[in-house]
Structure 1
């Protein structure tokens, strides 16, 4: 993974990092290896000696250096962080939108572990795993009582290795064993649909796959001559600048999208432009208080250029830019100091200036460091301020503790009845609870209380009241879910209103 990142990061990214990293950590790495006349270095040396001599448990110099690095970077601002190699692995998976596994999303529902999403394409989809499958065991290990993150770790693994899931499936008797071969899984951050000639596009995050997965969506919009689009950036925490700029080129008219201003005088500020000759869509952008960073770059560019209307609540307000930098270990620092006759701490600098690829063992960790700030096309700096929507509409409010977007429509493939269990039962229970029917907490179990709630719902809708989730009842519940979405998600409803007029 690390070598892939070394290859992917550009020379520009490396240059951005070099001078800043020396400003903040050069002294501390040196002091771990040699004496310094600098009083600050001597002070920190003495602190480390104090720990070595007095701390009850054993500790290594590496642990002390890692602790010092965490203190330095984590104390700078809310966004600068030092990661050990193990911690960095999860961060890189999120940034790259890729990991090795089978491609499922799992959730805890009561005492059960349920597959709530199967990515496509993925090894899981190829193996026949479907949404709603309940996991009983992983590679023969019963998962009852095991925390969700540990179950996820059991399922993930090295490429080309096999994992066997024991699952129970709604409508089938007994336990099924499904074998899947782990492989690279790309996380698709895009979901979309077209309803009544209005396109709806949701972007969860701007990971490395965003433009790749958005491209066919925009082609579909073009082929179907869609001219009205709702772009949903709510709860989007941001991501990569290059990816958000690529998305911006579909929506922002010709001109500036954003400008990046860096502290280092050696680093050239960067401007990103769109070459779109004119606004192509009647566009509504949904934002809220968790729309941050890269999502604010896009929303700010759309607002400043008049390419669309922002609807929702004020955004998070993060316009600081971070770079991710690999740090050499003290041993590697000394090694390359002797070999190259220079003091190098940044792994990217070692590659770009000296054509030397450090090994994974030579990287003590990775730092995410704030190196600059971005501005909107009109020159607005929104850090700590956020973007105020053109039309302010209150955020979605859960109904009886349930968000409409946590509920999946019923599949209408089986007909659950009393004493059965399954994902459709769970979703039916959630819809019924939102509708104020007496449900004792959705739990996937079609018990007497769920039976009575289904029977009452059927009676209220003029259906045959016999407590079975037949297809007609499932269809009626799905229609209620659609109605509840429009009633509770006033931001989405406002977007539809603006586009339909």
Structure 2
């Protein structure tokens, strides 16, 4: 019986580890191949023996899955900070972050410390079930499915409010300034969390991407690189084109990254040719992404805002556009994450392994990754261009976070803070306006030639109109969206 248990445990663990350990690259020499196989099976036997001893002799019964998942996590922890095991219970939330889609009612909520720790609506998302039901910023969610939310933690509230699209949830809401709890039944829908935002809302509750209507300067915030980010960004730029945009500021501050495919697609929007990024891995095929001319947005000055929390995909875009001199980088040095993670399915898709499989390199070849122990004098991250470097203090960063969150609240009765100065945005505007002024200055040589030709052309036919410039073809407050 003991032998059977040992063999079955060994088989079980071998099967699990085969799904997460890379397959060997067979060497030309059979002896080298045999040594690798022998070493592998010796390690597997050690693992299985340990598992068997714990399961058979530990003082208390312990769930097999707990042991196996702990072993997997232990292996992954020996790798790097970006690799991790995603258990079945965590996989759904992980996918929601990547896809920015889930079944819910469409509100951002937080625990209001200034209102008895009540579950409070930060803002509804435009067009969602909560928005249509009349839920507004500042409302208290008093009950969910008849149960008081007093004492609820944020994860508990989120879990209860989320669910399958088409299913209803019963809540009661106390509107801001009232004491009466109003019962509501809200049908959940598939909520898409936009990753492309403007500075303020328009009267129709859509985002306003035109920051300076006189100078025609567009402003777009990209909060995350999710499945639909490139599509959203293109729609925002097309909206700005219709308004006659002459310049663009792309804000990547606090953007932690996301999908590599979206970073390359967005970079390709702004350059006609050349390398976007390249990746190199131990066992994965080295790859290089090249820009294509079709659909390029050019012919206008551009600035990209970054800070110390801009990472990964944000650094791919900012590094690419900086190296190609397509945009000026404004703000502060970025995080420094130059590694690529692949999500590998385990258990036929019930769990997953997020594994670092490659490093990426900017077009210039300069390093981006901040390795452990890296000094400030080392080359890593994306450093803003000369004259446009401005690092905020922790206090200034916290104040900016509060300012930005308040502007993101969908409440037409709220007063916007007009006193706060976003110094990094102001610096980006300084560059944009100076670039626009340079474009409008007449060329000295051209003006001289025009002056010399003017008398001779007095009786000539009117010249054709000049061609128009090409138009563009972490914080203390915890908020959750549900």
Structure 1 match to 2:236: 217
Q: Please identify the structure whose Cα radius of gyration is greater.
A: 2
Counterpart secondary structure, 2:291: strand
1:269 aligns with 2:287: yes
Contact 1:187 1:209 in 2 (8 A): no
| Other-structure match for 2:391 | 394
1:65 — aligned with what? 68
Give a deviation string over 1:77-127, Cα, whole Å, max 9, x none: 111111111112111110111111111110122222221122233222232
Superposition CA RMSD, Å: 2.7
Q: Work out the number of aligned pairs and report it.
A: 375
Question: Following TM superposition, where does structure 1 have runs of at least 4 consecutive aligned residues deviating by more than 6 angstroms?
Answer: 17-20, 409-414
What's the offset of the Cα at 1:396?
6.0
1:443 is matched with which residue?
none
Contact 1:257 1:274 in 2 (8 A): no
Q: Is the 8 A contact 1:253 1:305 kept in 2?
A: no
1:117 has 2:53 as partner: no
Cα distance in 1, alignment partners of residues 433 and 392 from structure 2:
21
Is the contact between residue 239 and residue 294 of structure 1 (CA under 8 Å) also seen in structure 2?
yes
For 2:275, what is the secondary structure of its paired residue?
A: strand
Aligned counterpart, 1:380: 366
Residues 56/83 of structure 1: CA separation in 2 closer, same or farther (3 Å cut)? farther
Paired residue for 1:326, among 320, 323, 345? 345
Aligned-partner Cα distance in 1 for 2:269–2:328: 15
- Inter-partner Cα distance in structure 2 for 1:257 and 1:500: 27
**1:173 Cα shift?**
5.7
Task: Quote the residue 1:352 is aligned against.
Answer: none
Instruction: Decide whether the 8 Å contact of 1:396 with 1:490 is kept in 2.
Output: no
**Residue pairs, 1:102-501, within 5 angstroms:** 102-110=105-113, 111=116, 112-172=118-178, 174-192=180-198, 193-196=209-212, 197-264=216-283, 267=285, 269-275=287-293, 279-328=298-347, 358=348, 363=350, 365-384=351-370, 385-390=380-385, 391-395=388-392, 398=395, 402=399, 403-408=402-407, 474=415, 478=416, 481-484=417-420, 486=421, 489-501=422-434
After TM superposition, give the deviation of residue 500 of structure 1 in Å: 2.2
Separation in 2 of the partners of 1:65 and 1:125? 44
Give the distance between the partners of 1:52 and 1:72, measured in 2 at CA: 19
Question: Structure 1: how far apart are the matches of 2:122 and 2:221?
Answer: 18
**Contact 2:335–2:381 (CA under 8 A) maintained in structure 1:** yes
The SS at the match of 1:482 is coil
Residues of 2 paired with 1:223 and 1:366: CA distance? 44
Distance 2:389 2:319 in 1: 15
The alpha-carbon distance between structure 1 residues 253 and 483, as it changes in their structure 2 partners (threshold 3 A), is farther
Cα pair distance change 1:48/1:183, threshold 3 Å: same
SS in 2 for 1:483: coil
Alignment of 1:22 with 2:8, yes or no, is: no
- Please tell me whether the aligned partners of residues 186 and 209 of structure 1 are also in contact (alpha carbons under 8 angstroms): no
Distance between the aligned counterparts of 1:241 and 1:232, measured in 2? 18
Q: Which runs of 5+ in 1 are unaligned?
A: 1-16, 25-34, 329-357, 415-423, 425-473
Q: CA deviation at 1:290?
A: 0.8
Query: 1:338 — aligned with what?
Result: none
For residues 129 and 272 of structure 1, what CA distance do their matches in structure 2 show?
46
Tell me if the contact between 1:325 and 1:367 (Cα under 8 Å) persists in the aligned partners: yes
Cα distance in 2 for residues equivalent to 1:190 and 1:410: 15
TM-score, normalised via structure 1 length: 0.69
Q: Secondary structure at the match of 2:160?
A: helix
* SS of corresponding position for 1:219: helix
- Structure 2 distance, partners of 1:19, 1:166, is 46
Deviation readout 1:299-358 (Å, 9 max, x if unpaired): 000110000111111111111111101123xxxxxxxxxxxxxxxxxxxxxxxxxxxxx4
Secondary structure at 2:23 match in 1 = helix
Query: Which string of whole-angstrom CA distances, capped at 9 and with x for unpartnered residues, describes residues 436-481 of structure 1?
Result: xxxxxxxxxxxxxxxxxxxxxxxxxxxxxxxxxxxxxx5xxx3xx2
If the length of structure 2 is used for normalisation, what is the TM-score? 0.72
CA 1:75/1:272 → structure 2, altered by over 3 Å: closer, same or farther? Answer: farther
| Secondary structure at 1:114 match in 2 | strand
Q: Distance in 1 between matches of 2:275 and 2:296?
A: 12
CA contact (8 A) 2:122 2:409 kept: no
Alpha-carbon offset, residue 129 of structure 1? 2.0
Find the counterpart in structure 2 of residue 45 from structure 1: 48
Q: Does the CA contact (< 8 Å) of 1:19 and 1:264 recur in 2?
A: no
